[in-house]
Amino acid sequence: MPIQVKIFDTYEQISQTAADLVSEVIHQKPACVLGLATGSSPLGLYRELVRRYEKKELDFSLVHTFNLDEYFPIDPDNPQSYRYFMNQNLFKHINIPLENTHVPHGNDEDIEAVCQNYEKMLARSGGVDIQILGIGGNGHIAFNEPAEAFADQTHQVDLEESTIKANSRFFASEAEVPRKAITMGIGSIMKAKKILLIANGAVKAKAIQACVEGPISPACPASALRFHPDVTILADREAAKLLSR
Ligand code: GLP
């Protein structure tokens, strides 16, 4: 099945639709596994999930979550860490037991062991029911940067200069952005039953075009999603403006 692209006028509509799809999974399977992303793209979705939880429309008590990636090295209580981001923007506002939430450990000495252990935990969880993704301006998903080959499993990466620059907006200076990260591989992401990619703004237009219509190539890691049977992109007009159809 080709990637479905749904185009919206506003970011608010994207977030509502993403929340509808995630809510549907939680309602159908209260002990589901959510694959979560950081960055600005899913923030509206998280706000909406919190709102629905507060209105008692959602119960997260049995839900498990796995995040895509984390900087390395970084402490979990560093405000720039993805663990901190998730706690602040979602976990502390809903009734999910914190031990059900997983973010790769950015402060462990044995980075190889962290990666292997993460894959094991993912496998033991029964697999991700719905995976939320953002996309980097260079077509990266999670921290899978453009490369010679698609990475399979959770692994460590050297961040690209463009990613360090793009993400420096969250740090006091560019020098403070960690140069490495731990990320789920394209193979681990592709195991999710359903994938939802959120893209808004003109800075994402090239990446969305390459992902949907360019060659399937590790030069655009997101293009691998075309091998997955159930991917929906929720985009605004700006992010979708280079698509030919
Ligand atoms: C980071 C994250 C990605 C995210 C991307 C886009 O590099 N590792 O998971 O999708 O940035 O971020 P944003 O949504 O802020 O544009």
Tokens 């605004």 belong to 236
Is 16 in a helix, a strand, or coil?
helix
Cα–Cα dist 17/29, whole Å: 19
Of 206, 217, 72, the C-alpha closest to 146 is: 217
Phi and psi (nearest 5°) for 106? -85, 0
Q: To the nearest whole percent, how much of the chain has pLDDT over 90?
A: 96
Q: Residue 139 Cα, ligand 1 centroid: separation in angstroms?
A: 10
What mean pLDDT is predicted for residues 119-143?
Answer: 97
Q: Which of 15, 36, 38, 163 to mutate to test the pocket of ligand 1 (most atoms within 8 A of CB)?
A: 38
Print burial letters for 40-69: b (CB count within 10 Å at least 16), e (below 16).
ebbbbbbbbbbebbeeeebebeebbbbbbb
Q: Examine the residue annotation and report whether 78 is marked as an active-site residue of this protein.
A: no
Tokens 């209260």 belong to 30
Of 165, 184, 186, the C-alpha closest to 176 is: 165
Residue 1 has pLDDT above 80, yes or no: no
Lowest-confidence region among 57-66, 162-171, 187-196, 218-227: 162-171
> What are 143-200's pLDDT values in tens digits?
999 999 999 999 999 998 998 999 999 899 999 999 999 999 999 999 999 999 999 9
> What are 69-123's pLDDT values in tens digits?
999 999 999 999 999 999 999 999 999 999 999 999 999 989 999 999 999 999 9
Residue count of the chain = 245
Q: Examine the residue annotation and report whether 138 is marked as an active-site residue of this protein.
A: yes
Candidates 48, 67, 69, 236; catalytic one: 69
Q: How confident is the model at residue 2 (pLDDT cuts 50, 70, 90)?
A: confident
The whole-number pLDDT of residue 164 equals 95
Q: How confident is the model at residue 9 (pLDDT cuts 50, 70, 90)?
A: very high
What mean pLDDT is predicted for residues 114-136?
Answer: 97
Ligand 1 atom closest to the CA of 68, numbered from 1: 9
